[in-house]
Amino acid sequence: MKVVNQNVQIDGIDKKILRALMEDARTPILEIARSVGVSGAAIHQRLRKLEKSGLLSGSKFILNPKILGYTTMAFVGIFLDKAMNNPDAVRQLKKIPEVLECHYTTGNWSILVKILCKDNAHLMHVLNKEIQSISGVSRTETFISLEQQIDRQIKI
């Protein structure tokens, strides 16, 4: 593996390791080592280098929100009175647990957020009582996701 100008160059072995872990982060290191044809120690060493390079930023378990009763996913475009209100608005959005992602965007909106709610009534509450009450928010535009059809990471 080589790091050149913030770009990480990975070889075929690194790719095999990463593909295995992207499919299932709980795959045992020795199982990956056997399939790749190198030692477990070599896998550990390569993983440490990939973490140090910043390419790997950890692993996590992914919850199924529907099992917890969260069935309404929405994207909300937020219009701010002034662009300078962005840091304050983001600080307030961080306090709303239903906000999963927040993006500073080009185009009509200042901010685009992804939110997850239990149902439409919960969504309406989050919009009306929490997001639209943030100082500097002039209005919002909401798109409800009917179904997520693609969910993937970048291919290596």
Are residues 69 and 49 part of one domain? no
The residue segments making up the domain with residue 123 are 65-145
Q: Residue 78, SS3?
A: strand
70 and 117 in contact (C-beta within 8 Å)?
yes
- Whether 155 is in a domain gets the answer no
Q: What is the CATH number for 42?
A: 1.10.10.10
Average pLDDT over residues 66-81: 97
pLDDT of residue 1: 53
> What single-letter amino acid sits at 44?
H
Question: Do the strands 7-9 and 99-104 form a parallel or antiparallel pair, or are they unpaired?
Answer: unpaired
Are residues 138 and 69 part of one domain? yes
Are residues 141 and 69 part of one domain? yes
Total-model pTM: 0.85
Q: What is the CATH number for 80?
A: 3.30.70.920
Percent composition of the chain: helix, strand, coil (DSSP 3-state, to 5): 40, 25, 35
pLDDT band (50, 70, 90) for residue 6 = low
Are residues 73 and 32 part of one domain? no
Are residues 136 and 75 part of one domain? yes
Are residues 85 and 35 part of one domain? no
Average pLDDT over residues 42-56: 94
Are residues 38 and 88 part of one domain? no
If one compares 140 and 3, the residue with the highest pLDDT of the two is 140
Are residues 69 and 141 part of one domain? yes
Are residues 109 and 88 part of one domain? yes
Are residues 70 and 22 part of one domain? no
The rounded distance, in Å, linking the Cα atoms of 102 and 112 is 6
Q: What is the pLDDT of residues 78-132, one digit of tens each?
A: 999 998 899 999 999 999 999 999 999 999 999 999 999 999 999 999 999 999 9
